[in-house]
Amino acid sequence: MASPATAHHHHRLNPAALFGMVPISPAILTAGVACVVYLLTLAPTVFTLDSAEFTLAAYTLGLAHSPGYPAYLLLLHLFQQLPIGDVGYRANLFSALANCFSVGALTLLCKQLYGRWEPAVVAALCFAFSVSVWSVSVAAEIYTFQGAILAAVLLLLERWRRLGQPIALIGSVGVFCLGVANSSATLLWAPGVVWLALITPQWRILRRRHVLGLVGVGILALSPILYFPLRSLAHPEFINVGFYDAQAIFHPLDLANLANLRDYMSGRQFKQFFFANLGLAALGQQVLTFLSNLTIAFFGVGFPLGIWGLWSLWRRDPMLTVGLALTAIPHTIFFITYGAIDTSLMFLPVYLVWTVFLGAGISMLFREFSVTSARLIALLPVIMLFVNAPIANLGTATGPADLARQRLREAPPHTLYLATWGDAEIMRYYQIVDGLRIDVQVVNRFFVANDQLVPLVVTATQRQRPLYVTSQNLVFADGYRTVPMGSGYQIMPQLDNR
């Protein structure tokens, strides 16, 4: 039983004591191994799809697509001031370091839960070298930042649950609220987070100052939401929420309007994808795809080990098991039914929770078999490293950047360039960051409504403005043809064959 002095020490708001009893050097070493691998396979410059968008939104303190990610953009903007590589490389590096934090936090969490470093290190490295996780850690993406938030919340809640440290509870509330401010999808974890915070008798030690701390830190952590109306009023150079009219004029959404702000933060920009796979056949296919991806993510072996770990953890600590499951299941259900083409990238929080179960399974190996035999499982992350490296390695991935620059250089003066999401933002990156061909107007096709597309094409051709597209099938308009022209395609009126 803890002495009164010890108990009093636990109840103080002492951040320095948060991990004072836990040696963290193995966790730092594990995160360092992941960091070295990520640095060797990191995309060397700006990458395509959302990576270019996030890089540019952070660089300009602009507005990214819904739900916005203000905390991520603000921190990334600060990180981009470092004199390392170009702006795109810095954004990629930020994603890598965010996931290295998750790897270290997972190592600490599994050590706290299972009492041995070996299972913790092996499980965390399996997470780091999972192809699904690795691939989003070497280019600028939001997923590793959100994963780091979840890892921090789970680690802090475990400290609160076991040791009754109010500073750990307050910290977990602050980090979770920061995640909510950053992305409304964080609310999908709320059932598990609330459960883990409540299933402890430690609540009786809380005093008024602790409650005030919880409320104050929570409100402060939500403050990045103010970024949206403030930056909307400032009219930054890069805005990815709004629409183009037939004159190719962009109309940004006014986020100083509360109704617009609510819709933006709730993700209504992509409402067409919400619950798009609810049909029986589609849902069944998505469930099978998810289970297949989960199995592949942990190289087959990690799936049955995770099931074994889940069962063993349930027998030992059912309340913790329920909390972890409640954290992952709502996220899984929502994104299984989500209809976007890149949905497979959105399960990193689920893989993170699965890593905790995997750690329990590996711990059971050490209990049920000889230590020498059990240590053979350490080969799993090594095998994953060498097998997945050719797939996840973006160390020489300059193709999208080279193509974007080439298209801009080849375009005639004052061209209107209709581009797909992945092509548009990387072209705009070079216009804004490097000042390359700012006379060319790049229009993201996603922000042109279908009923405005043909009028936009007609208006441009009537004004004799060169009109190009990055994909041959991007524009369907009667009376017009697509002609290959350099690295793009020019839209021209049909020839009169009479």
The torsion defined by the Cα of 314, 316, 317 and 321, in degrees rounded to 10, comes to: -20
Phi first, then psi, for residue 38 (nearest 5°) are -65, -40
Over residues 446-468, the mean pLDDT reads 92
Pull the structure tokens for residue 263. Answer: 């819709």
DSSP track, 261-315: HHHHHTTGGGGGGTTTT-SHHHHHHHHHHHHHHHHHHTTTTHHHHHHHHHHHHHH
Summarised one tens digit per residue, pLDDT across range 210-258 is: 999 999 999 999 999 999 999 999 999 999 999 999 999 999 999 999 9
Summarised one tens digit per residue, pLDDT across range 11-70 is: 445 544 444 445 678 999 999 999 999 999 999 999 988 999 999 999 999 999 999 999
Give me the pLDDT at residue 144, please.
97
Give me the pLDDT at residue 257, please.
96
For the chain, what percent of residues have pLDDT higher than 70? 94
Summarised one tens digit per residue, pLDDT across range 113-137 is: 998 899 999 999 999 999 999 999 9
- Say yes or no to pLDDT of 374 above 90: no
Give me the pLDDT at residue 27, please.
94
Give me the pLDDT at residue 476, please.
67
Which 8-state DSSP code applies to residue 484? E
DSSP track, 4-30: HHHHHHHHS--GGGTTTTS--HHHHHH
- Say yes or no to pLDDT of 481 above 90: no
Q: What are the angstrom distances between the C-alpha of 341 and each of 137, 288, 345, 473?
A: 19, 16, 9, 17
Please state the domain extents for the chain.
21-253+375-392, 399-493
Burial (CB < 10 A; 0-12, 13-18, 19+), residue 279, is exposed
